[in-house]
Structure 1
Amino acid sequence: WTHASLPRALQSREVGRVLNSFTPALRAPKRGYAIVRLALDLGLRCIEINRLQLDDIDWQNGTLTLRRTKSRRQDVLPLPVPTGKALEAYLRHERPLTSNRSVFVRSLAPHDAPVSVDAIHRVIRDAFSRAGIPHGRAHALRHTLACRLVNSGGSIKEVADVLRHRSLNTSLIYAKTDRAGLVEVALPWPGSPA
């Protein structure tokens, strides 16, 4: 029963609405946009976004290093161009001056503190709300990335690698979202024309 339900992933139009919800009227739209891009494009968990340090971004090689992950290892991920541009815009134009090495710091005093994991959850939840999406949990962005990978021909092993799952079994739920693959193995319903 652990794999009985389908993962809650966003459709492409919903992704667009979430990304477009970061308007200049918000207090920190560039920070919020960068946070959502990290979760959507790299499948980062909120705790991983919270722990990012400036030194974890290698602009020269286009990589992002995750330290102290859920699997207790260090991972080096490729930094997609849209995600890198979102981070750059936040760092150049919106990040407060601070000696704190955390990528995401508070926009209200005290500025020398990183944003909390709860604040990251709230940024994502509020973006879903502004986009009119009722299932506004941060994990839906990881599910969206995984479903996109599977539906574009990626294997379950690739999904496990991208999402940094320790066990391949954790990623098996995404096999049900591979519509093209399921059509090939589906049997006709009993009593229906083949």
Structure 2
Amino acid sequence: MQQIKRFLDQMQAHNKSAHTRSNYQRDLLTFVSFYLSVQAQSATDKSDEHQAWSFDELWQQMPTMNWNELTSKDIKRFVMQRVKIGISASSVARQLSALRSFFQFLLTEGLMQHNPAKTVKAPKQPKPLPKSLDVDQTRQLLEQPIEGWQAIRDQAMFELLYSAGLRVAELVSLDLSPGLDGLSAGTIKVLGKGNKQRVALVGQQAQSAMQAWLLARAEWAKSDEPAVFINQKGQRLSTRSVQLRLDKRTREAGLATKMSPHRLRHACATHVLESSGDLRAVQELLGHANLSTTQIYTKLDMQHLAQVYDQAHPRARKTGKK
């Protein structure tokens, strides 16, 4: 147990939070409980369901632990057992990280000759899809009363995020030129990931909101400010400000949900995909380099997909022939 106490002391010296230290201590004791139980069961030829050890028992057993006896198989068995009993992938990954850090500490202390957890992989964590908005929620957000120049600006921002499927970084970095050179034709030029310029489509309602904002902007922007969206000082708006203004609009709309600019981008992709079923078109719309990225951010309505299939596939339609 002294080794774990010294490890936790070192964490404290490195300014790790009390919460982190508490998690690591619990994770290490959980592993020790599992390992000692498996060892005891092996000696008595019992099943692999390990018993629970109390902390008092662990304090007594820890001095007899020979850390050098641990192998990667022991760590893998622990990981498999955690998954088996329903521990989340993120929690198992944290526990495995605690073991790696602790064993690395023992290596530097000369108490271990290898790190048995170094090559053990954590279980894959599912990638959650971004939460979208349905059409009614989106309409409720966008169709709020507009009073004052900030509300006019906000309306243009939110319409543009939804219409063009922009990232918030693309929105705030948008310049009058060349960004809005094609606005009357329904396009804008934005600087996407990797400083790559791309053309985004703008719908009619977003165009109208943008035109209203450009008229209001002329009274507030500094003469040499290239940014399309500005703050009260006449300077480029920050991503943080966009989030705060969206929070305000969400409250005003009475939506019981946490909103973010990315949810509007995702809503754009989802609604286009649900209506068209064209994943490649959505890929271009979002400016994704790989189709696999688009598949992560979009979720196709299977009922709609079945309808499209029945209408489009030559072997899907019933001919009535025997």
Give the TM-score, by structure 1 length. Answer: 0.81
Cα 1:171–1:179 change in 2 (3 A) is farther
What is the identity, as a one-letter code, of the residue corresponding to 2:189? T
Alignment of 1:24-63 (within 5 A): 24=147, 28-55=150-177, 56-58=179-181, 59-63=183-187
**Equivalent residue, structure 2, for 1:129:** 251
* Residue 103 (structure 1) aligns with: 228
Deviation at 1:125, TM superposition (A): 2.4
Is 1:64 aligned to 2:64, yes or no?
Answer: no
Contact conserved, 2:277 with 2:300, CA < 8 A, in 1? no
Shift of 1:94: 4.5
Q: Deviations over 1:142-178 (max 9, x none)?
A: 1111111111123222111111112211111324434
The number of aligned residues is 179
Alignment partner of 1:75: what SS? strand
Aligned to 2:212: 89
Q: 1:22 touches 1:33 (CA, 8 Å); kept in 2?
A: no
Q: Which runs of 5+ in 1 are unaligned?
A: 186-194
Matches within 5 A, 1:173-188: 173=296, 174-181=298-305
Q: Which residue of 2 aligns with 1:169?
A: 292
Report which of the two has the higher share of helix. Answer: 2
Q: Larger relative contact order (C-alpha < 8 A, sep ≥ 6)?
A: 1
Instruction: Report the TM-score when normalising by structure 2.
Output: 0.51
Letter in 2 for 1:179: Q
CA distance in 1 between counterparts of 2:206 and 2:154 reads: 12
Q: How far apart, CA to CA, are the structure 2 residues paired with 1:165 and 1:171?
A: 7
Give the letter aligned to residue 141 of structure 2.
V
**Unaligned regions of 5+ residues in structure 2, if any?**
1-124, 310-322
1:53-84 CA-partner distances (Å, limit 9, x unpaired): 111112454321112x1143111223322111
C-alpha root-mean-square deviation of aligned residues, in Å? 2.3
Larger CA Rg, structure 1 vs 2: 2
